Structure 1
């Protein structure tokens, strides 16, 4: 039918005819179809039905465990049904409230404490939390942390897992809202927590990318090597964010979302920004692998503009460490996260004053660690 398979994502098929766009996303035998012309969409479905005998389920509301709600302000995606099933299957007491996924400054050691008697159960629950993080950026750091102990989980790790589940139970309908707007820009935030892993002394990379003010890509990951300084750790995080930005620009361009360049990449480390902008070989950076200098190339190309942002306003901070309840809720609001107990926030980039209500002591739910 003239559809082109995307080289950026092999599950994506695109067709452009006379300025009209039709998009199909395929996962085994589940297909999402959208586009700018209803007639083209209907013709595509009729053709599929003549070949495969498909079942048309109407407007998208559920796909691969992800619930989709259509509001006037935009589209809300959550995993409430999956979350309820996860909590029923966890066999842990989640009745107490936890206001953040993990207590601030918690350090989990790999080889300290008594081994957990049922490691398979631990792996299963962490794996489900990993799937839940598809619509929950606030869980990315916690899942990354707990995933490090899959081989030999200990009782201390199970306590941390229980704390995360208590937070999930307290925020059952949490998700993200994709705002409906024609004023689209791509903004990236990168951050790192230098030498934060007590077992390996490696740093944690975190980044988040917003289309408009809606989060569309995020990651929390331990760096593969030990960084000699906080500047190097931040520079490595910038390289990861630059790589994801490059891919997203290609993907969105194929989807006819144009004029996104240059993308502002926000970092809270002036030294790392200087390294990214300084295209001269330097004694302090000669040990850094070539792939980390990817950011410099993209700055030269004009794809990325490096921008300083204060640490308190760093959106990606939620991807690199456990935060206080006030800062955690503040960043969730800045990321445009949505809860079914809230009213849909207006289309804006600031944070409402009601986050100040969350500035309570963390001691009440950190008990036991």
Structure 2
């Protein structure tokens, strides 16, 4: 059985929950939106900002008459009554903070006694858009919203289910409402996005953090690398939000070594990390403690010394020597670690010399 990139899952930062509602359109503040008649014109220029959404429309293409034309929040709902054209509600941008899936749900009902004009596409168009991709849409007209009699127009919902999302995706959701004529309209009661975190794919994580002369390095081995691409490492703060991110490129092969110089880490402290592998899988490593990277001499003879040091499995290490600090380091031998501790005998390059210094260099 081949190993995959080590790790577990990460948490949603939005809302501070592992899974649940990460967006809900707020229609609780009455009077947000726009109204107009032919007498008073438009009460607001497009766009109009709501609590966490924006209404956009083209005032030159929206007809008006002597009755009140509404696209406005009333009693905790968004009412679109006798609007005379199309207006679009779009959520604030939702930044995805973890890979997984989302469900996007909306609910509304027809109001007024007149029938919708299906040919004119009167009704509700629910949509979502990820990054710069084309929007995904579904239209609900007279048939779906329930008859011509106001009393038969019951609440109707629609859900986009199981949409896959990745870290830092920019998601926007919303609906466009098109009504044209007196006593025709809809009321939108809800628009929500629920998230489900990516599940556990594997275990046995071996992510390590070492203090070296030039800073703290976080490193791990990715096995069975399946595609050219990048591996992303994120440092999480105390509330699970991303405090720092880094990328390394990997190539197709049985394994690849990922090594990141992470700023701000301190020796002896523990940190939480999140990893995205080269094929978009998400993993989590919590409580990683920064360790010193040092070699220890455990034995010495005239022929050489025995060195022991913490190591990363499958990584190559170079043992170097110098007679006096300030001289050029010379390579004595190389070794490939097979475990988390490596011990090896190193021949002395100059047995007759009065002194010398060894060091372990990660290749």
Bigger Rg over Cα: 2
Question: Taking structure 1 as the reference length, what is the TM-score of the superposition?
Answer: 0.23
Question: Taking structure 2 as the reference length, what is the TM-score of the superposition?
Answer: 0.23
Which structure shows the bigger proportion of residues in strand conformation?
2
